[in-house]
Amino acid sequence: MNDDFLFSEDEPEEEVVSTAPPYEILIVDDDEEIHTITKMALADFKLDGRPLKFHSVYSGEQAKAFLADNKQIAMTLLDVVMETDHAGLDVARWIRQELQNRLIRIVLRTGQPGQAPEEDVIARYDIDDYKEKTELTYRKLVTLMYSCLRAYRDLNAIERNKRGLEKVINASAEVFSARSMHSLCQGILEQLVALITHSDDAMYCRTHGLTAKTRDNQEFEIIGGTGDYARAVGQSVTQDIDWTLVNELQNLERSVVFRIHNNDYYGLYKTTGGRQYLLVIKDVRELSELDQNLLGLFVNNSSIAIDNLNLRETEREAQRELLYSVGEAIEKRSVDNISHHVKRSAEMAGQLLIATGAGSEEAEKLKQAASVYDIGKVSVQMELAQSADALSIHDYEEIMSNVIKGHDYLSQTDTEIAQLAARIAQDIHERWDGRGFPSRKKGKAIDINARILSITSQYDALRTQRSYREAQDTGAAIDYLTLHSGEFFDPELVGIMIDHIDAMEKIRQRYSDII
């Protein structure tokens, strides 16, 4: 018995249909018999449970056209001599240099070895092997398929890992923003999933407290996802979770625990601050001890990073509250009761800015600047600022000249928030129609932050009770904004404000005044 292609004459076993995606193989040869023999010899070949799917072309030009449209080919068995003596060599060079495909494995086969000496070809071309057709027996062909497809599989894992790492690096430039931290988590998740699993479906979740959670109270939030969960970031977890297993993990004393159940990986990390982070990967392959340690390390380290971000958010919230307190102290000079007018106006201004398409960071800066822009009021006499009587021209000019001093005070400080507050102080009393104070700016020449705050501040003032008048209802306040749209206020911003009036009213309810 020789070592050539062998085909059993036994009765065929019952075929089991594989559900794993196949490795796609391109046969390039002008001899039809080579296609037939190759397909028959490798009909039962599998790697990692994945069968082969064959494609056939019969010339170098056909190979180029096919490969240009099919990026998923794992390996090509490429004849050297076809329409020309070096057609296969031209295709190999084209794949690497023009198509820029570094993943596909290339095996050259030739029936005329003298046309292209093996040593010269191996040295000059980026190929995996070079075989004479007469020496490529069944066993050698199978060995060749294992080595090439394993290389393709591992290179794909490295490439996917590289893409995940690039996302982490890109996100690290903005690591101090909440949005970039989510991007950082997403990148690390994709990197690990690509490196140590065959699954694309994974999610990273966050919750509060150390008590067991159930599906009903929906306390888990997805903060990173791949595959089926990529579009679910920000949503609560309502399905695809074995809650009994999660509860068991929560009840264990260790801070980092994991378990593989029904081919799904569950990893849980509990922080000292009371948060929990859950990593779920669906349909994982068998994980080595190293793989499991990597996953545990990911859950641990990324949870610590997010906790640090949450601490920064807490500090920023405290800073914002301090600025609101300063703003309300300033506001106290012009009203005769305790009011959260400054806080409400600032929060609504941030909401309105986001509604125009701006980001959360810009909105946060506006809210902080809106708390202190009116610092010039400290120069106004208390009796004059709180007067309920009609002001004389002289009184009005005195108030406005002192209020505008806020710009002078704030512009002396180099911080971004102070400079923004200075611009607001400069433009807050301008009017859309150009008849405002002090520079008679018109339309979009007025700073957009000042245009926004003039609307939200006026709306909240109308909706708030004063000693000399009752609060107006929502409809009346909207009517006022509409009436003066294009006169006092930016008409486009007034329209957006009205479209989001329910959200604005929720802010007013959240920061209602103490009666």
CB within 8 Å of 73: residues ≥ 6 apart: 24, 25, 26, 55, 67, 104
Q: What is the spatial distance between Cα 47 and Cα 440, in angstroms, rounded to a whole number?
A: 76
The catalytic site residues sit at 377
Asked if 425 and 438 touch (Cβ cutoff 8 Å), the reply is: no
Q: What is the spatial distance between Cα 373 and Cα 403, in angstroms, rounded to a whole number?
A: 9
- Cis before residue 22, ω within 30 degrees of 0? no
Sheet of 75-79, strands arranged across: 52-57, 23-28, 75-79, 105-110, 129-132
Alpha helices in 42-137 (DSSP H): 60-69, 87-97, 118-124
Helices then strands, counting H and E runs in the chain, come out as 18, 10
Cα–Cα distances in Å, from 329 out to 3, 48, 374, 457?
A: 94, 70, 11, 16
Which residue in the block uniquely carries the two structure tokens 């009021």? 377
Asked if 80 and 88 touch (Cβ cutoff 8 Å), the reply is: yes
Q: What is the spatial distance between Cα 456 and Cα 367, in angstroms, rounded to a whole number?
A: 12
